Chain A
Amino acid sequence: MFEKTQQFLAHSKVLSYLFSSIRNGKDRRPLLVGAVMQNSEECVTDLHLKSLAYRR
């Protein structure tokens, strides 16, 4: 499953990570995490981002 994605990731290297909080007017402060990934075979650089929310 998701073979292309996994293949892409296998040929990528992580250059850096991104971290941030998300402010939405409530007390809870979900997180935003990300990675900057370079794939030299396909000559592209990806920013993968994902937000996480604390379960209630």
Chain B
Amino acid sequence: MSSPTAAGVVENRLTRERFDSEVECLESLLMNNQSLLESLYPALGDSGDVSKSIFSQLGINQVMSSADVGVVRLPLKEVSLLCQIGIDVSPESPLFVLVQGRRKDDVVSTFLVSISHTAAAHSARALCLEVKEITEELFAGVKNADVKDVQYCS
């Protein structure tokens, strides 16, 4: 890819780089997107030369494209329990992920992450993420802190 020029007329507003043509600018935007995905998922690519990445070498992008990226941040310094509840996401049935662990102050907290997928006819599909802290007992009569593991069977 060509390097940006100071006298360029097309600007990549994400990086403030300027290019001589729209094609060069679009290539720059695509590389930004690729770099972002590979920085989020280093196992699927490397942070060096994009053309030498595992993504490109394996031709993964020829088969699949990334649609949505989402991140949920939980205030847990360590995780003691983790369970994916469900194997399929649809607009009607979200996928849940149960996460329990210790906060910075060693208090045990439990979170339920809900992942759903919109399918509106006139808009792009999109992941919808929701987080709810569960304060009530997961299992009646058992303190959440005493729960050692949760298994999901479909």
> Chain A residues in contact with chain B, CB under 8 A?
1-2, 5-6, 9, 15-16, 18-25, 30-32, 35-36, 38, 40, 43-55
Contact = CB atoms under 8 A, between A and B. Distances in A.
Most interface-central of A25, A35, A52 (chain B CB within 10 A): A52
B95 interface: yes
B53 interface: no
Contacts of A22: 88-90, 117, 125
Contacts of A36: 79, 82, 97, 99
Interface of B: 32, 35-37, 39-42, 47, 62-79, 82, 84, 86-91, 95, 97, 99, 101, 103-104, 113, 115, 117, 119, 125, 127, 129
Contacts of B78: 38, 40
Most interface-central of A19, A22, A35, A43 (chain B CB within 10 A): A22
Given A43-B103, A44-B77, A47-B97, 19 more contacts: A2-B36, A6-B39, A15-B82, A16-B82, A20-B87, A21-B87, A23-B88, A24-B90, A35-B41, A36-B99, A38-B76, A40-B78, A43-B77, A45-B76, A47-B71, A47-B113, A50-B40, A50-B66, A53-B65
B79 A38 contact: yes
B40 A48 contact: yes
Chain A binding surface, main DSSP class: strand
B89 A43 contact: no
Given A6-B39, A32-B115, A54-B64, A45 B69 contact: no
A3 B91 CA distance: 35
Contacts of A43: 75-77, 103-104
Contacts of B113: 47
Contacts of A23: 88-90
